[in-house]
């Protein structure tokens, strides 16, 4: 995985549309900017994306694969690989597909040597014209969460060239990967690789926090009816015998402050 130096002209303001994982009932996130708005769509890899993904790989990385290798990932682990698509790019013809500007190719280890269920990042690449936008980080985080939620992965692993300082900074400083050592001559050209790993236990903690927040949000909620002494109005018998001031509270989502609390002074 080779993330080269970023072209300065690629530093522009853009917005993103991130598809949520199928396993999670969450809303898609969109980040908008007033200046030069471009819309980046991060979604699952489709078989129809493979020619563009392969072209992105050939353009940016020395480690290249046949189309059937991408298809193998897409069909075997369809929840794990993602693409970044520039959907605001104007089409030359009505039949033009949206431009793929980045991808992450991921899988689950089928026969892990340590016996622990974990995922592996096969390849990650972003076009030079769309770097410094956080796309690589978003692609990686989407894939990691899918590994955890779909397959129960305990950690994720990857390899990176020793000479690739930019990629190492992304993995270690931004994404929190740990260096587990060096594998000599890992790449076809003889270069060594760092073997990196990141535990996914933090996703379990986030899931528990979300569940506790959901439970806490339902405590004390009502259906928007009247509460307080107004609820006991029919139980009080003859209302005319009540001389104290009664307070009626209406609970609703779209009521103004003046409508929330209404006081009726009886016997005044």
Q: What is the pLDDT of residues 170-196, one digit of tens each?
A: 999 999 999 999 999 999 999 999 999
What confidence tier does 96 reach under pLDDT thresholds 50, 70, 90? confident
Range 209-228 average pLDDT: 56
Range 11-15 average pLDDT: 43
| 63-92: burial string, b at 16+ Cβ within 10 Å, e else | eebeeeebeebbeebebbbbbbbbebeeee
Is the pLDDT at 202 greater than 60? The verdict is yes
What confidence tier does 27 reach under pLDDT thresholds 50, 70, 90? very low
User: What are the residues whose beta carbons fall under 8 Å from the beta carbon of 230, sequence distance 6 or more?
Assistant: 246, 247, 248, 249
**What domains does the chain contain, in order, with CATH numbers?**
8-203 (3.40.630.30), 226-264 (no CATH)
Compute the distance between CA of residue 135 and CA of residue 137 in angstroms, rounded to an integer. 5
Are 38 and 14 contacting, i.e. CB atoms less than 8 angstroms apart? yes
Is the pLDDT at 36 greater than 90? The verdict is no
Of 180 and 97, more confident? 180
What pLDDT is recorded for position 10?
42
What confidence tier does 218 reach under pLDDT thresholds 50, 70, 90? low
- End-to-end Cα spacing for the chain: 80
β-bridge partners, 119: 108, 156
Range 212-225 average pLDDT: 56
């Amino acid at each position: 995985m080779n993330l080269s130096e970023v072209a300065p002209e690629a530093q522009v303001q853009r917005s993103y549309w991130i598809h949520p994982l199928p396993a999670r009932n969450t809303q898609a996130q969109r980040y908008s900017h007033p200046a030069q708005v471009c819309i980046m769509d991060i979604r699952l890899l489709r078989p129809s994306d493979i020619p563009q993904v392969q072209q992105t790989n050939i353009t940016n990385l020395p480690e290249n694969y046949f189309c059937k290798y991408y298809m193998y990932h897409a069909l075997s682990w369809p929840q794990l690989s993602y693409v970044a698509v520039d959907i605001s790019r104007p089409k030359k013809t009505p039949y033009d597909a949206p431009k793929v500007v980045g991808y992450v190719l991921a899988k689950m280890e089928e026969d892990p040597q340590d016996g622990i269920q974990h995922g592996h990042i096969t390849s990650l690449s972003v076009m030079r014209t769309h770097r410094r936008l956080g796309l690589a980080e978003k692609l990686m985080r989407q894939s990691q969460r899918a590994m955890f939620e779909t397959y129960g992965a305990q950690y994720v692993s990857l390899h990176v060239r020793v000479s690739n300082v930019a990629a190492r900074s992304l993995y270690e400083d931004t994404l929190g990967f740990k260096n587990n050592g060096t594998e000599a001559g890992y790449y076809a050209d003889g270069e060594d690789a760092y073997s990196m790993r990141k535990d996914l236990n933090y996703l379990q903690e986030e899931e528990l926090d979300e569940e506790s927040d959901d439970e806490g949000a339902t405590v004390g909620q009502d259906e928007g009816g009247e509460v307080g002494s107004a609820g006991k109005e029919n139980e009080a018998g003859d209302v005319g015998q009540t001389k104290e001031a009664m307070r009626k509270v209406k609970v609703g989502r779209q009521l103004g402050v003046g409508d929330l609390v209404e006081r009726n002074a009886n016997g005044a």
